[in-house]
């Protein structure tokens, strides 16, 4: 039985879809990014009951801007958390590797349905990650199954607002 603090919240979503393949995720994300850039419509920004964010990272090798659409979950301080799961892939997703390199990405541009902001991403340390992970998985249980598919620990990234654009 879950402790009270790990019960589902108002962000709870039941998975009513089959997880796409990694190739499909890449294709779907590209289309999602394009839609997010042209509209603020709920149909684009709130998918499967989850609010999404558009992150712009800088390629650590190329210096080229990369955009990715990700579902968000809010922690107890109402700060957005994104999950670097890539549906349980063996390797971290590119966006995570790019933001992990602080030399290229000390801060990233984030777009939400209601506006844009700069954030200095915080990769959660082991202790905090484990606590947030349990709360997140109470709302989004499929992340637990993604974790069982890989030996890497799936990182969680907090995106605090450091400056509104």
CATH of the domain at 56: 2.30.110.10
Question: Is 45 contained in some domain?
Answer: yes
pLDDT of residue 2: 44
Q: How many residues can be counted in the chain? A: 165
For residues 131 and 77, is the Cβ–Cβ distance under 8 A?
no
pLDDT in tens, 59-106: 888 889 999 999 999 999 999 999 999 999 999 999 999 999 877 678
Question: Is 6 contained in some domain?
Answer: no
Could you give the number of structural domains in the chain? 1
The whole-model pTM stands at: 0.89
Confidence of residue 18 (pLDDT cuts 50, 70, 90): confident
* Domain that includes residue 41, residue range: 21-164
Question: Is 124 contained in some domain?
Answer: yes
């Amino acid at each position: 039985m879950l402790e009270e603090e790990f019960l589902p919240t108002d962000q709870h979503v039941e998975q009513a879809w089959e997880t796409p393949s990694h190739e499909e995720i890449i294709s779907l994300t590209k289309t999602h990014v394009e839609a997010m850039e042209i509209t603020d419509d709920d149909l684009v920004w709130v998918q499967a009951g989850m609010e999404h964010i558009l992150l712009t990272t800088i390629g650590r090798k190329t210096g080229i801007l990369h955009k990715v659409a990700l579902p968000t979950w809010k922690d107890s301080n109402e700060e957005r958390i994104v999950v670097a799961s890539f549906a349980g892939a063996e390797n971290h997703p590119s966006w995570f590797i790019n933001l992990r390199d602080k030399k290229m990405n000390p801060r990233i541009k984030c777009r939400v349905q209601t506006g844009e902001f700069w954030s200095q991403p915080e990769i959660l340390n082991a202790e905090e990650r484990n606590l947030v992970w349990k709360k997140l998985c109470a709302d989004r249980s499929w992340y637990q199954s993604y974790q069982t598919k890989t030996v890497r620990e799936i990182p969680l990234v907090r995106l605090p607002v450091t400056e509104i654009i």
